[in-house]
Amino acid sequence: MICQFGNVVRVIIFTLMLLLVSPLNVWAKEAIPVAEDPEIEKRMLALTVDLRCLVCQNESIADSRAEFSNDIRREIREQIKANKTDKEIVQFLVDRYGDFVLYNPPMKPTTILLWFGPVILFMIGSGSLVFYLRRRRLQIEDVALSPEQLNEAEALLNEDKKGKSV
């Protein structure tokens, strides 16, 4: 009887483990295919390090796991197989997605604010702070204390000194 009870418990535990583990396969994804040629993969990774993922925006295409980045990596592999140069591949992506795809966009009229915007905002903020502090300094008035207030303050200070020395 004890042996049968032990077997039933094992079956129940095994079934529970299967039920707990089975939802995990829903999140499992197929491994990202690597190029057949390691040289193509190495060149693709070198190119994608300097390109921005347009979905993540704070990650390079090499680091991103977004579907967009997977598509771009696949496109770059195809262009490498078609014997395109690195400049041609980058230009293709810039033509298609704009300068935002580059981590270091070129200096031109459309990107001037991107290059100098932070410096301009810093200068405006610093100037505003200096102007505000100067104006505030002029608004501050020296308050003259009456002799009674001075005596009261001195008495409080003396009282505090006596309290600490005890």
Q: Domain 34-106's class?
A: mainly alpha
Domain range list for the chain = 34-106, 107-139
- Whose tokens are 């207030």? That residue is 149
45-68 pLDDT, tens digit each:
888 988 988 888 788 888 888 898
114-166 pLDDT, tens digit each:
788 899 999 999 999 999 999 988 888 777 888 999 999 899 888 867 766 54
Q: Which residues contact 137 (CB under 8 A, 6 or more apart)?
A: none
| CA–CA distances in Å: residue 15 to residues 20, 73, 98 | 9, 42, 54
